[in-house]
Structure 1
Amino acid sequence: MRETTPTDAPRRLVLLRHGRTAWNHAGRVQGQLEVDLDEVGRAQAEQVAAAVAKMSPTRLWCSDLARARQTCEPVAVATGLAPSYDARLREFSFGEREGLTHAEYGALDAEEFDQFRLGQYDACPTAERTAAVEVRMTTVLRELLDQAAPGETVVAVSHGAAIRVATGALLGWPDDQFHSLRGLSNCGWVVLDEHPGARDLRLTAYNRTV
Structure 2
Amino acid sequence: MAHDSALRETYAGAWQGLTHDEITERYGEEYSAWKRGEPVRRGGGELETEVADRAAPVVLHHADKLADDGALVVVSHGGTIRTTIGRLLGLEPHHWEGLGGLSNCCWSVLGEGARGWRLLEHNAGTLPEPVLGDDD
Structure 1 length-normalised TM: 0.56
Q: Identify the range of structure 1 (124-133 vs 166-175) with the bigger mean alpha-carbon deviation.
A: 124-133
Q: Write the deviation string for residues 47-93 of structure 1: whole angstroms up to 9, x where unpaired.
A: xxxxxxxxxxxxxxxxxxxxxxxxxxxxxxxxxxxx21000101110
| 1:107-186 alignment, distance < 5 Å | 107-117=25-35, 120=38, 122-186=40-104
* Structure 2 match to 1:86: 4
Question: CA RMSD for the aligned pairs?
Answer: 1.8
Following superposition, the deviation at residue 199 of structure 1 comes to 6.8
Change (3 A) 1:190 1:119: farther
**Alpha-carbon separation, structure 2, partners of 1:166 and 1:207:** 14
Say if 2:105 and 2:125, in contact at 8 Å, map to a contact too. yes
Q: Write the deviation string for residues 98-147 of structure 1: whole angstroms up to 9, x where unpaired.
A: 01011111110222223445665625251112222111111000011111
Q: Write the deviation string for residues 123-177 of structure 1: whole angstroms up to 9, x where unpaired.
A: 5251112222111111000011111110211100001111111111100111211
Q: Percent identity?
A: 36
The answer to whether residue 15 in structure 2 is matched with residue 102 in structure 1 is no
Q: Which amino acid aligns with 1:88?
A: A
Change (3 A) 1:207 1:104: same
Q: Which amino acid aligns with 2:16?
A: E
Equivalent pairs, count: 126
**Alpha-carbon separation, structure 1, partners of 2:121 and 2:62:** 19
Q: Structure 1: which 5+ residue stretches go unaligned?
A: 1-82
* Structure 1 match to 2:118: 202
Say if 2:89 and 2:116, in contact at 8 Å, map to a contact too. yes
**Alpha-carbon separation, structure 2, partners of 1:152 and 1:119:** 36
Q: Identify the range of structure 1 (184-193 vs 122-131) with the bigger mean alpha-carbon deviation.
A: 122-131
* Structure 2 match to 1:18: none
Structure 2 length-normalised TM: 0.84
